[in-house]
A = this chain, B = another copy of it.
């Protein structure tokens, strides 16, 4: 069984790394949908088909991009001694990284979380909930619950601003949302109109953390 002739590699002007870099930059610059193969190749000064040398197709690019983001998250493990603080830090970190690249959020939401980094994130969640004293079954269901909440909250936040690539500062986004929500007719949606000051902050960090804590409360009281 001889070796399959090894690879003679001629030039290698690209890398999978470089492709993903270019894709993420495009997403950040021009919003979701800007990470087309042709535009990535153009940004790299290369023919569109060259990209296919490193990644089999577009969905592989998207998946690898998500994996990279989750990998960065996993690599930045805090690891204190308070499980609740660690969990909150993890959730905040995930949100921070995703809102930093809002164009990549649809990729995370659209694909199944099958990759190694996604699994590792799940593993970390299970470990945190184990440290919280939850039984195995409770921990597994709790991980699902936390994941659902976090993803849903981020989806809601990012969907609110579908336009450009980068997100405005949180203060400005909340102000814009408050202005928009003030337009709803109070006659038709009285409670919504009355609660504008709160619902305007739905997309804020504080509300995100508040919801996470309610989730953890619900988990704790059940255990």
Contacts and interface: CB of A to CB of B under 8 A. Distances in A.
Interface residues of A, number: 61
B112 A160 contact: yes
A132 interface: no
Nearest to A194: B136
A112 B203 CA distance: 12
A153 interface: yes
Interface in A175-223: 180, 184, 188-192, 194-195, 198-199, 202, 207, 210-211, 213-219, 221-222
Interface in A106-143: 106, 109-114, 116, 119-120, 122-123, 126-127, 130, 136-137, 139-143
A145 interface: yes
A192 B129 CA distance: 12
A123 B189 contact: yes
